[in-house]
Structure 1
Amino acid sequence: MNAPLSSHGLSTGSETDTPVWVFGYGSLIYKVDFPYLERRPAHISGWHRRFWQGSHDHRGTPEAPGRVVTLVAEAGAVCVGMAYHVRPDVFAHLDHREKNGYVRVETALHFDDGSASEGLVYIAAEDNEAYLGPDTEEAIARHIARACGPSGPNRDYLIGLADALRQLGADDPHVYAIERHLLALT
């Protein structure tokens, strides 16, 4: 995948083998299937996590996509997640894992100790083919309840994310409301 970077041009380090920070805000928080040098809780500003991206390859199928998170820009918003310091060779795996509409974008990462660094985040913008867009949290929960793909039931993705966010002490009303609606269905 030829994933574009922002105009700032942060390198993935492939020319120099320099490690790069990657920010995870969805399954990258709790499903770490790649090597990393360091892992730290972090947040990015100006973005909200939303279950507005379709998943045709992991939590759904092309005929019945699941719903996974992407980021939506909003002034003043803060998105809590996990940052990983990785070597550039990890991007081959991550680009494949995040192939369903996501591109790498440069962002400023803020760590819990008050320090900051430039890094990369995968975002699926509304102009990608798998984008499903907004809906009510109840409707999103019903969608998630019936979706399943090669990586398993979509509900496992939601529950795993909600649990991981609680462990980070993150307040995410969108995710927790969808989880409440999903649990009420079962």
Structure 2
Amino acid sequence: MNTSAARASQLPPPPEAFHLRDAAWHQASIEQTLRHWDGRSDLWVFGYGSLVWRPEFDHLEARRARIHGYHRALCLWSRINRGTPERPGLVFGLDLGGSCDGVAYRIAGSRALDILGPLWQREMPSASYVPRWLNCHTESGPVPGLVFTMDRKDAGYVTGLSIERIVSIVRQGHGRYGRCTDYVLQTADALETAGITDRRLRAIAQALRHAS
């Protein structure tokens, strides 16, 4: 990527590039994601951001887990949950490369459809993520988990931001779920409590606290 393109990729897209998905789209996406599910077995969902400290769904079990091939990053402009079209914040996505530690939640097969509907509304308001089934490696062995990975083709995808730039963006963000700063700090604190080390996120959290 040349310098001008790199700079452009670090700027939020215009508001008209942001499109909400409706209930019919969510339902079709869920059906596509579950096309190989038998309709009875329990399902696992992998949390790496706010799902670590605010899953908002009933689960039978929670395990610390690691996935490979993706890493946690503040790589998605947020115009609803943690920002507005005029002053977007940033939220976490799973970007390509490396690995990521998080929490895998087991949900009852009998409750799966009731749980996944609200989960799609929360995680996929603008279809910025790609739902995938990935191996979640836990101390009790691997489990196939539903993981929301970053769609790099999405208009809201952003990469190459310095910690200073991230802190500046996060501090300005405030959306329907509250301040972007709170979201980032709560995620950092929840990971630390779970014994999960994310050095870059720790540096961002320290800078946010210092700037407050």
Question: Normalising by structure 2, what TM-score?
Answer: 0.78
CA distance in 2, matches of 1:41, 1:47: 16
Aligned to 2:29, what secondary structure does the other structure show? coil
For 2:123, the equivalent position in structure 1 comes to 98
Secondary structure of residue in 1 paired with 2:80: coil
Alpha-carbon shift at residue 33 of structure 1 (Å): 0.9
Give the corresponding residue for 1:166: 192
Output aligned runs, 1:140-159, within 5 Å. 140-159=166-185
Instruction: Look up the match of 1:112.
Output: 139
Deviation at 1:18, TM superposition (A): 2.2
1:86-135 CA distances to partner (integer Å, 9 max, x unpaired)?
Answer: 2421110111101131221110011133x111111011222112223230
Q: CA RMSD in A?
A: 2.0
Q: Which runs of 5+ in 2 are unaligned?
A: 1-25
- Moved >6 Å (runs of 4+): none
Q: Which runs of 5+ in 1 are unaligned?
A: none
- Which of residues 59, 64, 68 is equivalent to 1:45? 68
1:3–1:103 CA contact under 8 A, matched in 2: no
User: 2:83 is matched with which residue?
Assistant: 60
Structure with max Cα Rg: 2
Matching of residues 6-17 of structure 1 within 5 Å: 11=35, 13=37, 16-17=39-40
Does the 8 Å CA contact 2:170/2:181 hold for their aligned counterparts?
A: yes
Larger helix proportion of the pair = 2
Specify which of 141, 156, 159 is matched with residue 133 of structure 1. 159
What is the aligned counterpart of 2:58 among 35, 55, 73? 35
Describe the superposition over 1:119-171 as per-residue Cα deviations: whole angstroms up to 9, x where unpaired.
11011222112223230011101110111001000001111110011012112
Distance, in Å, in 2 between the alignment partners of 1:5 and 1:71 is 22
Are the equivalent residues in 2 in contact too, given 1:10–1:106 (CA < 8 A)? no
**Which amino acid is the alignment partner of residue 120 of structure 2?**
D
Q: 1:73 aligns with which of 82, 96, 110?
A: 96
Q: Look up the SS of the partner of 1:3 in the other structure.
A: helix
Counterpart contact for 2:71–2:96, Cα < 8 Å: yes
Q: Does structure 1 retain, via aligned residues, the 8 Å contact 2:75–2:90?
A: yes
Residues 101 and 196 of structure 2 are in contact (CA less than 8 Å); yes or no, is this contact kept in structure 1? yes
1:70-93 CA distances to partner (integer Å, 9 max, x unpaired)?
A: 11121xx22110111124211101
Size of the aligned set, in residue pairs, is: 180
